[in-house]
Structure 1
Amino acid sequence: MIVDIDKDLCTGCRECSKVCPVDAIEGEQGKPQQINVDKCIICGQCVQVCKSYASIIDESIEFVDNIKNQRKIPSIIKEPMFAAYNKCDVEKVKKALQDPNIFTVVQCAPAVRVALSEDFGYNLGELTPGKMAAALKALKFDRVYDTNFAADLTIMEEGTELIKRITEQENLPMFTSCCPAWVKFMEDNYPELTNHLSSCKSPQQMAGVVFKTYGAKINNIDPSQIFSISIMPCTCKKFECDREEMNSSGYKDVDVVLTTRELAYLIKDMDIDFKNLKETKFETPLGEYSGAGTIFGVTGGVMEAAIRTGYELITKKSIPSVDVIEVRGTEGFREKQIKVGDLNLKVGVVTGLKNVIPVLEKLKAGNLELDFIEVMTCPVGCVSGGGQPKLLLEEYRLEAYENRIKSTYSHDQNLPTRKSHENLEIQKMYNEYLGEPLGEKSHHLLHTKYCIKKELVK
């Protein structure tokens, strides 16, 4: 299991059940809890809030070390071992890094750069993309790229797909598909509505495909030698990379996922002094990104990035304001109407998965008149993902979320390019390799189909 609860450590406080968006955590108050795997969407919010733990103060060092060993967490890590946890893949990555016959490529999600530093004593939400890139290079990855590049790529495909659907008035509203926990929820519970999901793969998976196709060409490397690692704020990304359809490169597109916390484990285990690293940049051409790519990490960010590009693709004019503040915010569900030339684009943003159920029920009843809907499972988007640094005191949670959001928008505002379609490296890749958005090659490599449980279609 990717996410699990250790019954020997669980005190039955049921704090995890309060944050589970699908009521997958079962058990009586005061007794060990368990996860119903048929309901679980692997979002990892239970891992974030769990307070039951084993420490060397209450237990023996041997007891804690044994748990660490079972979970494959590096022995150097001194934090308590909590009851709710996600599987750790640090050893897999270390093994790949040590193999001279493997070409390691790493990508880093937008939300990681506003949280990783918290595990090294920095202020909550401090933005450190330069140190993060430096740490990845110090770990000796062969190429240090960025998921933000693929976020820009996602907007090119998703924006084009949305325009096509609106033009043809087909399968509207279109829902975003970059959150794997949301996609899993849709497949498991509303299979009859999966045709409303964008067919775009998530930025993580698009990056994985690009690394083993276009990236293999520009690096002159046999794709069979490439080992692709992604650093994500999300535990469900581990599930997503293992989906059997995620192999359009001809290989497994993403080989292994580390959470933000696991990257911190790896940096500490390899004795890298994060604070004293000299800042550096991600490598090009697959590491260049726009501000639109980086705001994928906050709720409303995918919608805003899509509007920045969609407006200009439709009208052939510059968007009046690149900051689409109408779709920002953190409330559960918000509907807005955006003027795009002669089109009144009707959009919705869902923050927190529990808030999507009424939206889906309205769609089933034929009472939902929207064109495009963004859905994020976690409380305020990916910056609050289940794989982010753990917040041990509850009073820090709101501050951390607010600071991570603020840092994300600050990063966007300070980047020289703020629209996905103006990313010159994206333009170059289409010209040299992909052709055009939603074209034959890009559709084959960057789009997917959805799975539904057999018992739901009987």
Structure 2
Amino acid sequence: MESSTSMINIDGELCTGCRRCAEVCPVDAIKGEQSKPQKIDTEKCVMCGQCIQICNGYRSVYDNIPTSMSKEAFERGMLDDIDEPLFAAYNKGQVKKVKEILKNKDIFKIVQCAPAVRVAIGEDFGLPLGTLSFGKMAAALRRLGFDKVYDTNLGADLTIMEEGSELINRLMQGGVLPMFTSCCPAWVKYLEQTYPELLPNLSSCKSPNQMAGAIFKTYGADINKINPDKIYNVSVMPCTCKEFESEREEMHDSGYRDVDAVITTRELAQLIKDAGIDFTTICEEEFDTPLGMYSGAGTIFGSTGGVMEAALRTGYELYTKKPIPKIDLTMVRGKEGFRTAEVDLEDFKLKVGVVSGLKHVKELMESIKEGKCDIHFIEVMACPEGCISGGGQPKVIFDSDREEAYSNRKKGLYNHDANLTCRKSHENPEIKKLYNDFLGEPLGAKSNKLLHTKYKSS
């Protein structure tokens, strides 16, 4: 078995050389001849996992392959009793480690789930594409043995408070523009290794996942009266690059590793099946509070344009001190590609851009280098339609289903947003309490220490 990277791999015994993976790779990191096994250039790979999503070279029980299926599953970090196809492109996961941790009664086990997970997890249990399943997911996580079931959406609300304040500060103080979002670790890695000269344009904010991790091991430890030494924080993500992000040396500002393990949506489905939990019939439950309460703005982070829309809902009101006239900012929503919009802040026209899919970012980056870009704020997501199409999401086996799957997942998030009472990050009562009781103010000393970082060229 041939590995290309520690996290994203192509199994040479299963690869048919169809090169579909090479076609979707946004950084041209996959090399090989047609009809021969492909290899990943580890210097270029940003671990977005789109090769995993598109791969259709799989192992059949009838295939005469030297490596046993059990050995292949072991080397991939899969659970022993999971019966599912083994595809050539895969990520090496942490689900076995998490299963062992869940047996440890001496550890306080916290879990957080990204917004895109709740509109995809049901697909691995036969539910219709895009089914919103946050209540079933919360219940299943408790049955697995987690002591607290929290939500990355709270981290998304926190990100908006910090990132929105950072943008306004740059606009008013003459800071580096355009400012890029920093939620997507594959995008951050791409910028670090391809355009390091533009790193000053990147927001200093950590991702929602990492912000939440830092809060869980500081403020969360205090309110739960638990020694941070005893806390083990697991993140469930739609992304195959989040494990890499969690291992970065910068992500220890709580005094510990802020996020201890990351599993994908697919791996959570493995855990649930392994435990014999009937996901389709389980009764819905709520996330634990206070660190599981979120706004609709936090929810839409999972779709392309969602971070921008959430930021504009809050940024408009922070800047103008007035309610935003229209909360549904559909002009920043869309599909794969690059789009722009303009927002009237009364005395200022804010120009924003949204990039979905790293393949569409190069021309923009070159225009910024040449001083030809007049945009103020840009959201970039590595995956084609944002996190809902992430490398760690349930595989869409048939290409004919892909558009419906992505469309339904997005609809699930926006419907969830529309049905929530609180739809702006700065109006989330638990966010207000977090600042009042612990953080102080956005961009303050404690916020800067826990929620911000400095990215660097690789």
Same fold (TM over 0.5): yes
Q: Tell me the amino acid that sits aligned with residue 65 of structure 1.
A: S
TM-score calculated relative to the size of structure 2: 0.98
Select which of 55, 58, 63 maps to 2:68: 63
* Equivalent position amino acid for 1:10 in 2: C
How big is each residue's C-alpha offset from its partner over 1:299-323, in whole Å with a ceiling of 9 and x where there is no partner? 0000000000011111111100110
Question: 1:100 offset after TM fit, Å?
Answer: 1.4
Q: Is the contact between residue 55 and residue 64 of structure 1 (CA under 8 Å) also seen in structure 2? A: no
Letter paired with 2:149: V
Q: % of aligned pairs identical?
A: 61
CA contact under 8 A between 2:13 and 2:65: conserved in structure 1? no
Out of 258, 271, 275, which is 1:270 matched to? 275
Give the aligned partner of residue 89 of structure 1.
94
Report deviation, 1:15.
0.5
The CA deviation at 1:270 is 1.1
| 2:398 equivalent in structure 1 | 393
1:404 aligns with 2:409: yes
| Alpha-carbon separation, structure 2, partners of 1:401 and 1:338 | 27
AA partner of residue 341 (structure 2) = K
Q: Say whether 1:234 aligns with 2:243.
A: no
Alignment gaps of 5+ in structure 1: 454-458
Q: 1:176 maps to what in 2?
A: 181
Displacement of 1:132:
0.6
Q: CA deviation at 1:60?
A: 8.1
Q: How does 1:187-266 map to 2 (within 5 A)?
A: 187-266=192-271
Name the counterpart of 2:56. 51
Q: 2:106 aligns with which of 86, 89, 101?
A: 101
1:23 equivalent in structure 2: 28
> Equivalent residue of 2:68, what SS?
helix
Deviations 1:144-168 (A, max 9, x none): 0000011000000000000000001
Report if the CA contact (8 A) 2:28-2:44 is conserved: yes
Report the aligned-residue RMSD: 1.1
Task: Specify the alignment match of 2:374 in structure 1.
Answer: 369
Q: CA deviation at 1:358?
A: 0.6
Instruction: Report Cα offsets for 1:218-245 as digits up to 9, x if no partner.
Output: 0000001100000000000010000011
Residues 1:150 and 2:143 aligned together: no
Cα contact 1:76–1:268 (8 A) shared by 2: no
Q: What's 1:456 paired with?
A: none
> What residue in structure 2 maps to residue 281 of structure 1?
286
Deviation at 1:170, TM superposition (A): 1.2
Amino acid at match of 1:207: A
Deviation for aligned residue 1:331: 4.3
**Distance in 1 (alpha carbons) for counterparts of 2:62 and 2:13:** 17
Q: Is the 8 A contact 1:9 1:83 kept in 2?
A: yes
1:120 Cα deviation (Å)? 0.2
Query: Structure 1 pair 26/60, CA: closer, same or farther in 2 (3 Å)?
Result: closer
Work out the number of aligned pairs and report it. 453
CA distance in 2, matches of 1:86, 1:15: 17
2:445 corresponds to which residue? 440
C-alpha distance in 2 between matches for 1:333 and 1:124: 26
Give structure 2 stretches of 5+ with no counterpart.
1-5
Q: Which residue in 2 is equivalent to 1:327?
A: 332
Match of 2:77 among 72, 88, 98: 72
Is 1:165 the counterpart of 2:164? The answer is no
CA drift of 1:181 comes to 0.2
Give me the whole-angstrom Cα distance separating, in 2, the residues matched to 1:78 and 1:291: 36
Select between 61-70 and 257-266 the one with higher mean Cα deviation: 61-70
Query: 1:106 aligns to what SS in structure 2?
Result: strand
Q: Structure 1, residues 62-98: CA drift from partner, whole Å, max 9, x if none?
A: 8222211222212222111111000121111111111
Rounded to whole Å, the distance in 2 between the matches of 1:272 and 1:425 is 31
Letter in 2 for 1:307: L
Task: Report runs of 4+ in structure 1 exceeding 2 Å deviation.
Answer: 57-63
Distance 1:268 1:356, change over 3 A: same
Q: Distance in 2 between matches of 1:216 and 1:261?
A: 29
Answer whether contact 2:309 2:329 (CA < 8 A) is retained: yes
SS of 2:341's equivalent? strand
Change (3 A) 1:314 1:194: same
Structure 2 CA distance for aligned equivalents of residues 208 and 396 of structure 1? 35
CA contact (8 A) 1:314 1:341 kept: no
